[in-house]
A and B are shown apart, each in its own frame.
Chain A
Amino acid sequence: MSSREAILGAIRRHLHRGALPEDQAAMLRARLAAHPRHLIPARSRLSRAGQIALFIANVEKEFGSVVRLPDTRAVPGAIADYLAQQNLPSEIVMAPHPALQAIPWAERPLLKRRAGRAEASDLVSLQHGFAAIAETGTLMLPAAPERPTTINLLADTALVLLQASRVVGAYEEAWDLLRAERRDPLTGGFMPRNVMLVTGPSRSADIEQTLELGAHGPRRLHILLLDDDEAARATPESAPQ
């Protein structure tokens, strides 16, 4: 008997049954296919503008920062300004994503760029945000050839370009975007090799339970939020706490 059969057999024996009857298995398959949502907390059930405000407040609560930009033309300048402010060299590694490549970089010729995966020597990286979740100020970064995982991890300063129209309220809504928009070349499903949900910069409290930023991943997380969502520009219904 294989160890697979041994373990499955032990589970069934202790549950006092054999393999599931077909009708029950069919019910479970239907549950997987329907993947029903559970309770979604009320905190993100807001207008578009309210969700954006909640997202920003949560990113800042988790020690990240956000700058709102009217369009992609403002991106190079915003990056150059941020790097200067932080005393960082004017050099970034960026994900080879079409949306990043389409930015009019020429306006800032002094900002050096390399497209590809990140290396340990890179100080600043620029990632493309697939979506974000207002509920906790969380970025969703699924791996893809145009969105390498190392870009999320290796540089000390992580920049992420995110469209306001891609900020959703709850995680469930971000999963739905992934389900709707992505096809995996290997499995035919939607799940890529890796999905990172990132909430603020890296940190550790392992030394005396006291928070220090920048443990192994980025010490700074700066989000460039493109205001491409008309509804999101309105005044939010109430200021999030």
Chain B
Amino acid sequence: MFSTSPAFKENAHKAIADVGLQKALTRTKPHFQGRRAKAVEGLPEFERLRDIGRDIKNHTLANLDFYLETWAGNVERAGGQVHWCATADDARAAVLAICERVGAKTVTKGKSMISEELAINEHLEQHGITPVETDLGEYILQLRREPPSHIIAPAFHLNREDWEESFRRAHTDLAPDRVFRERRDILTEARAKLRARFLAADVGITGANFLIAETGSSVIVTNEGNGDLTQTLPRVHIVLASIEKMVPTLEDATNMLRLLARSATGQDFSVYTTFSTGVRREGDLDGPEEYHVILLDNGRSAMLGTEFQDMLRCIRCAACMNHCPVYGVVGGHAYGWVYPGPMGAVLTPTLIGVDQAGNLPNASTFCGKCESVCPVKIPLPKMMRHWREREFERHLTPSAVRTNLALWGFFARRPGLYRFATRIGAGVLGWLGRKRGRLSRLPFAGGWTAGRDLPTPEGKTFFARYASEQRRQRGAS
């Protein structure tokens, strides 16, 4: 996918001015934060499940080669094929090869962030194959030719009127007097249109929330049932999964599932949690005849053994972005690539380079809310700071920032000089603000004063006052 991450600031500027987006973003609190809080409150063991979830993932990552090989053996035993793909190019080629071999004309798709990472739709279209997104949110985004703005609620940025407008434009058979007053009407229209697509598809592509070594299964978690129709009706099922989706056993997966829906949508469990293992068995009346897993690395193995390894625990629940005050202001598109919010701020630089995505780990106040809700306790702020360190080491930090830091560092390392400089600074600012206690404008602080006043110092520094007080006390005693 093409990245606009370098333009994060401009993207954010537009997002803040976008009335529709801002209206949509007000839903974050009641719908995501409120529901998660309620679900967590209803399960007293949740904190301990988080620790266990972290430990399961750490154990798996430490032995990832073993579990991948075990899993692949079990996939093959169940009649499936594993396509090991080191790069996005390899993965796109593997998907296309399968589709072309079976003569696919249309391909239905369940929601998959890997699919976005690979830009698989564009690739298929270029080769004359029609991909059809079947998740309701993804479907409307495909009609609008927009990327998702959220990893579990792709059309989070849209309002009802956007849906109606897109449907009227794309569904040319709609009667002009057809009403879309209720959400129900929109859903009914989408369901009817997509039902035909499910039945006609030659290949179904889904993502995977987990891969299970013990059984060779892939797991998808959905509420709509579109993923299940996608993988059940066509003759061929292709799973897109990255290597870190692995867990060892069904019991391990079960622990993760207790965390996933609660963290994501605030449900105790999603409507459909489906474990797929290989091809249609003898005597089965339905299910795919071919089962392929596109196993993608695309930079993930290189995160092992680094300060970013913990990020591979991520189960893509979106709790971090749902609770991020920055995401809550700018929405997902501002981040400029597939993965927005705190998890995106850590992951995106590893996948497309910190030179491209350097803004993302910087655009955080380190408020720590993301880490506090992460179901596998990923230290997201810490890893964003590691990206800032890498930027600094590689001299990617803007030169003005470096100069200011160096200047400040020069004084801060020399307490005597520092006292002298701060005494002057506090004095000047205090004098400037003596009438109102604040300034509305200040050169070099335009960012601050554009939207707020700058309260001015009392006048004398603490250390100046403390020193004279000490002198006075000594004089008095």
Say yes or no: A209 contacts B153, CB within 8 Å: yes
**B252, CB-defined interface residue at 8 Å:** yes
Say yes or no: B301 contacts A215, CB within 8 Å: no
Interface of A: prevailing SS = loop
**Which residues of chain B come closer than 8 Å to A197, judged between CB atoms?**
269, 272-275
Say yes or no: A25 contacts B265, CB within 8 Å: no
Say yes or no: A37 contacts B251, CB within 8 Å: yes
**Which residues of chain B come closer than 8 Å to A212, judged between CB atoms?**
183-184, 187
A100 to chain B, nearest CB (A): 14
Say yes or no: A199 contacts B274, CB within 8 Å: no
- The docked-state distance in angstroms from the alpha carbon of A241 to that of B38 is 13
Q: Which of B62, B156, B191, B302 has the most CB of A within 10 A?
A: B191
Contact with A along B76-120 (1 / 0, CB 8 A): 011100101110001000000000000000000000000000000
- The docked-state distance in angstroms from the alpha carbon of A199 to that of B31 is 20
**A210, CB-defined interface residue at 8 Å:** yes
Say yes or no: B183 contacts A208, CB within 8 Å: yes
Say yes or no: A201 contacts B64, CB within 8 Å: no
Say yes or no: A195 contacts B66, CB within 8 Å: no
Q: Which residue of the partner chain A has the closest CB to B199? A: A120
**B368, CB-defined interface residue at 8 Å:** no
Contacts A117-B286, A206-B155, A216-B134 known; A11 to B64 CB distance under 8 Å? yes
Q: Which of the segments A124-132, A149-157, A225-233 contacts the partner chain?
A: A149-157
Say yes or no: B274 contacts A196, CB within 8 Å: yes
- The docked-state distance in angstroms from the alpha carbon of A39 to that of B216 is 24
**B226, CB-defined interface residue at 8 Å:** yes
Q: Which residue of the partner chain A has the closest CB to B72? A: A4
Say yes or no: B301 contacts A14, CB within 8 Å: yes
Say yes or no: A145 contacts B284, CB within 8 Å: yes
Contacts A4-B84, A7-B243, A205-B31 known; A194 to B225 CB distance under 8 Å? no
**Which residues of chain B come closer than 8 Å to A210, judged between CB atoms?**
31, 183
Say yes or no: A206 contacts B137, CB within 8 Å: yes
Q: Which residue of the partner chain A has the closest CB to B188? A: A214
Query: What is the size, in residues, of chain A's interface with B at 8 Å between Cβ atoms?
Result: 81
Say yes or no: B268 contacts A171, CB within 8 Å: no
Say yes or no: A193 contacts B255, CB within 8 Å: no
Contact with A along B285-308 (1 / 0, CB 8 A): 111000000010100011111100
- The docked-state distance in angstroms from the alpha carbon of A202 to that of B198 is 16
Contacts A3-B84, A216-B194 known; A32 to B224 CB distance under 8 Å? no
**A217, CB-defined interface residue at 8 Å:** yes
Say yes or no: B251 contacts A35, CB within 8 Å: yes
Say yes or no: B52 contacts A38, CB within 8 Å: yes
Contact with B along A144-172 (1 / 0, CB 8 A): 11001110111000000000000000011
Q: Which of A171, A206, A217, A218 has the most CB of B within 10 A?
A: A206
**Which residues of chain A come closer than 8 Å to B249, judged between CB atoms?**
31-32, 35-36
Say yes or no: B65 contacts A19, CB within 8 Å: yes
Contact pick for A209, options B31, B52, B186, CB 8 Å:
B31
Within B204-231, which residues are at the interface with A (CB < 8 Å)?
Answer: 213-217, 223-226, 228-229
**Which residues of chain A come closer than 8 Å to B64, judged between CB atoms?**
11, 15
Say yes or no: A193 contacts B272, CB within 8 Å: no
Contacts A2-B84, A39-B52, A216-B194 known; A193 to B284 CB distance under 8 Å? yes
Q: Which residue of the partner chain B has the closest CB to A207? A: B183
Say yes or no: A204 contacts B224, CB within 8 Å: yes
B221 to chain A, nearest CB (A): 9
- The docked-state distance in angstroms from the alpha carbon of A179 to that of B226 is 28
- The docked-state distance in angstroms from the alpha carbon of A224 to that of B303 is 50
Say yes or no: B86 contacts A209, CB within 8 Å: no
- The docked-state distance in angstroms from the alpha carbon of A43 to that of B43 is 8
B13 to chain A, nearest CB (A): 25
- The docked-state distance in angstroms from the alpha carbon of A187 to that of B281 is 10
- The docked-state distance in angstroms from the alpha carbon of A198 to that of B265 is 16
**A73, CB-defined interface residue at 8 Å:** no
**B177, CB-defined interface residue at 8 Å:** no
Q: Which of B85, B154, B248, B301 has the most CB of A within 10 A?
A: B301
Contact pick for B65, options A11, A143, A152, A171, CB 8 Å:
A11
**Which residues of chain B come closer than 8 Å to A28, judged between CB atoms?**
63, 66-67, 70, 248
**A10, CB-defined interface residue at 8 Å:** yes
Q: Which residue of the partner chain A has the closest CB to B279? A: A193
**Which residues of chain A come closer than 8 Å to B223, judged between CB atoms?**
202-205, 215
- The docked-state distance in angstroms from the alpha carbon of A211 to that of B30 is 13
Say yes or no: B77 contacts A187, CB within 8 Å: yes
- The docked-state distance in angstroms from the alpha carbon of A147 to that of B477 is 94
Say yes or no: B305 contacts A16, CB within 8 Å: yes
**Which residues of chain A come closer than 8 Å to B254, judged between CB atoms?**
38, 171-172, 175
**Which residues of chain A come closer than 8 Å to B251, judged between CB atoms?**
35-38, 172, 175
A135 to chain B, nearest CB (A): 8
Q: Which residue of the partner chain B has the closest CB to A4? A: B84
Contacts A148-B285, A194-B276, A208-B27 known; A12 to B269 CB distance under 8 Å? no
- The docked-state distance in angstroms from the alpha carbon of A172 to that of B297 is 31
Residues of A within 8 A of B (CB): 2-4, 6-8, 10-12, 14-16, 19-20, 24-25, 28-29, 31-32, 35-39, 41-43, 58, 62, 96, 116-117, 120, 135-136, 138, 143-145, 148-150, 152-154, 171-172, 175, 184-187, 189, 191-210, 212, 214-218, 241
A/B interface sample: 23 pairs, CB < 8 A: A4-B84, A8-B68, A31-B249, A32-B248, A36-B249, A39-B48, A39-B49, A58-B268, A117-B286, A138-B269, A143-B284, A143-B287, A144-B284, A153-B225, A185-B281, A195-B277, A197-B272, A198-B272, A205-B31, A206-B137, A207-B136, A208-B160, A216-B225
